[in-house]
Chains A and B, each alone.
Chain A
Amino acid sequence: MENKEIKKYTITIFTENKPGVLYHIADVFLRRKINIESLTVSEIESGGVSRFTIVQHLDQETTIKVVKQLNKIIEVLKVYASLDDELYYNETALVKVGYKTKEDISAIYNIVSHEGAKVVFVNSTSVIVEGSGTEKDIETLLNALKPFGIKDIAISGRTAVLIHDKASILPEED
């Protein structure tokens, strides 16, 4: 039973690592006027296989259709979609924070420690903090560091693996 409720779906795509595959995948979303929220891709193991992880807020019906269309791409080996509760997921953020005084840097170190992040670089004007966790964890870390003046943020996008053996949305009908 499908409904129109919007949920956060993670779409995982395994493909041959060939030029043009990213373009074709992006076009499936473009055709439906879906503005991709997050996309990560990298080669996994050897043998030229890439893994794409796309996070998107969609309704179930659209997700099923997108998964089926992605599966039609010749270079796509496997594709499925899952909700957050089917996954263990994580993302990493690098945050460059400016500081002026000794008290500032002391406060930053306290926040970092409290949030379970770590300081990976310091110089006379900035600190680079590395944090990883869920999107919510990252958001909390950023909010805590905002008062000091954030100079730069880079967020990796989600990596995710299924907790169980099968995802809930597959391209096949049975």
Chain B
Amino acid sequence: MKKITRHMSGAQAVVQSIIDAGADTIFGYPGGAIMPVYDALYDYKDKIHHILVRHEQGASHAAEGYARVTGKSAVCIVTSGPGATNLVTGVTDAMIDSVPMVCITGQVPTAVIGTDAFQEADVIGIMTPITKWCYQITKAEEIPYIMAKAFYIANTGRPGPVVIDITKNAQFESLEYKYPKKIEIPGYKPNYLPNLNKIKKAAQIINKAKNPFVLVGHGVLIAKAEKELREFIEKGEFPIAATLHGLSSFPSDHKQYVGMLGMHGNYGPNKLTNKADVILAIGLRFDDRVTGRVSDYAKNVKIIHIDIDTAELNKIIKSEIAIQSDAKQALKALTPLIKKKSHKMWLEEFRKCDEQEDKKVHQLEAYPKNGQIRMAEVVRILSEKTKGEAVIIADVGQHQMIAARYYKFKNPNSYITSGGLGTMGFALPAAIGAKVADSKKEVVAIIGDGSFQMNIQELGTIFQENLPVKIIILNNDFLGMVRQWQELFFDNRYSFVDLKNPDFVAISKGYFIPAEKVEKREQLDQALNRLLEAKGPYLLDVKVLKEGNVFPMVPSGASVDEIRLE
């Protein structure tokens, strides 16, 4: 009779489960309570890729970068106490941005839990509100099933982070290992298929619309529905705009694409939202950055809202039809029912807005003739040199908005940033994750001088792994976005936003990563060439206009059609 279980330690079972789950990458940092797992990992070096980070927060953001590029969960392995608590920011970030990841935290032995033991923290208490699921394993025999369940939950339905806390004694105990074939959870049965009656009604409304407007968000990328989206848009010839996380789900040079939504989105999509008669929103949650003042958002518009998470339907905006569905399945069902149409006059209105935006903002920002280098021109030139094919990782702040607006994304999953939580320090570790996930793609991190210093230690990870991550610091010696708000809304009272910055080039070189400083416009072109041609990692510290502002802007509390061009 064939032996169907294998005798092994709990620690070995953890590693074996990761492999059986189909994961191949771990971002981690060892410590006392997780040492048995690390000892087991030592024998699996050829089966699984472990990257040692420099701070556990770096591990969590790296796992996010990995997942955003591949759609697969990466694994974070950290120790107890501070190891686990250092994950909190990244886990919260993944929760709000629907990013799958499985985090394993070591825990003190069961016998001393609750005694304030060395490096003990109440991980379940801390992680419960910020995870899709969390569980504490106290017996080795639980490991295969719980690990399989963790991966299943992380990557189905609306993806999200899962934390598994494993006591040290469970890692030492032995078990008969058998990885479950299937996971059945009585209270969790994710549904991907739309209600076809509702799809029919939605199609009827869309077909009758004079000014239909399609909005797409992260859900389209998660569902890998780019092809279905394109077919749908081309059939009905709808104008389409993307949220921050929906960027790159639709080619930006397509004639139906009208730009980005949101507080710093494009002029047309914001100004014309209230002029639409039907809005079809797919895979977005009507976040406040997108809606502006909710009471004035799409006031007389019929909204059809499609999202995989039923809790997002009718949460912020009341919809005419709310459909719980995966984006790909919904589009597949919808497209055959859509009449082939054209909305030339309506699309023309967006183009008119584009002209205004181009004249008042783009020309000045992306093609300045004199003065200090501007953030937008750096991004524009980068976009041209990479033909829009790089993966851009942006941190948080003015540079984040500029990168979103001026890079012309060609491929899906090529704009990665911390959106919902807006975590500064995201980009450097996330770029590590993205590069590990797909080494064939050019990965360029665009980071502000403030953001860069939040997880600067991850330069060590880049050096040790020799990852050809390209880093561009858009350096204005300020916490730019906060300074902009202080200028516009707080009477120019610059309260604690000016940064006395170090020599970033010297620091980079200290990590043995080649770097150069760019201060004048004439240096920019060649410097970017050297950055892109470098075989290994490379850093540019680009001095940009100190008090540049990001426009257009929908001021906080304003309606989307009150968007300002200056």
Contacts and interface: CB of A to CB of B under 8 A. Distances in A.
A76 B189 CA distance: 11
Contacts of A72: 309, 311
B529 interface: no
Interface of B: 124-125, 128-129, 132-135, 153, 185-188, 195, 198, 309-311, 313-315, 322-324
Most chain B beta carbons < 10 A, residue from A20, A27, A64, A74: A74
A24 to B, nearest CB: 5
A77 B184 CA distance: 12
B187 A77 contact: yes
B310 A171 contact: yes
A16 B149 CA distance: 15
Interface in A36-51: none
Nearest to A61: B314
Nearest to B149: A74
Given A16-B187, A174-B198, A74 B132 contact: yes
A77 B322 contact: no
A174 B195 contact: yes
Contacts of B309: 72
Contacts of B135: 20
A10 interface: no
A144 to B, nearest CB: 44
Interface string A74-85: 111110000000
Enumerate the 5 nearest inter-chain pairs by beta-carbon distance, A residue then B residue, closest first: A68-B311, A77-B187, A74-B133, A173-B322, A74-B188
Nearest to B197: A174
Contact of B128 (A27, A78, A174): A27
A86 B185 CA distance: 30
Contacts of A31: 129
Given A31-B129, A74-B132, A171-B310, A65 B315 contact: yes
A166 B219 CA distance: 32
Contact of B124 (A20, A68, A69, A172): A20
Nearest to A23: B128
A15 interface: yes
A74 B310 contact: no
6 contacts: A69-B311, A72-B311, A74-B153, A75-B187, A78-B187, A172-B310
B133 to A, nearest CB: 5
Contacts of B129: 24, 27, 31
A77 B186 contact: yes
Interface of A: 15-16, 20, 23-24, 27, 31, 64-65, 68-69, 71-78, 171-174
Given A20-B124, A27-B128, A74-B153, 13 more contacts: A20-B128, A24-B129, A31-B129, A68-B310, A68-B311, A68-B315, A71-B310, A73-B187, A74-B133, A75-B187, A171-B311, A172-B324, A173-B323
A76 B309 CA distance: 16
Contacts of A171: 310-311
Most chain A beta carbons < 10 A, residue from B133, B153, B309: B133
A173 B187 contact: no
Nearest to A78: B187
A47 to B, nearest CB: 10
A20 B135 CA distance: 9
A64 B315 CA distance: 9
Given A23-B128, A27-B129, A76 B313 contact: no
A79 to B, nearest CB: 9
A166 to B, nearest CB: 17
Most chain A beta carbons < 10 A, residue from B134, B135, B187: B187
A173 B128 contact: no
Contact of B324 (A16, A20, A64, A173): A173
B153 A65 contact: no
A65 B311 contact: yes
B314 A173 contact: yes
Contacts of A172: 310, 324
A42 to B, nearest CB: 18
B313 A173 contact: yes
Contacts of A76: 187
B310 A173 contact: yes
A23 B131 CA distance: 13
A24 B135 CA distance: 12
Given A24-B128, A27-B128, A172-B324, A16 B310 contact: no
Given A31-B129, A74-B153, A15 B187 contact: yes
A71 B128 contact: no
A171 B189 CA distance: 13
A16 B186 contact: yes
Contacts of B188: 74
A72 to B, nearest CB: 6
Contacts of B125: 23
Contacts of A23: 125, 128
Nearest to B324: A173
A68 B314 CA distance: 11
A142 B38 CA distance: 63
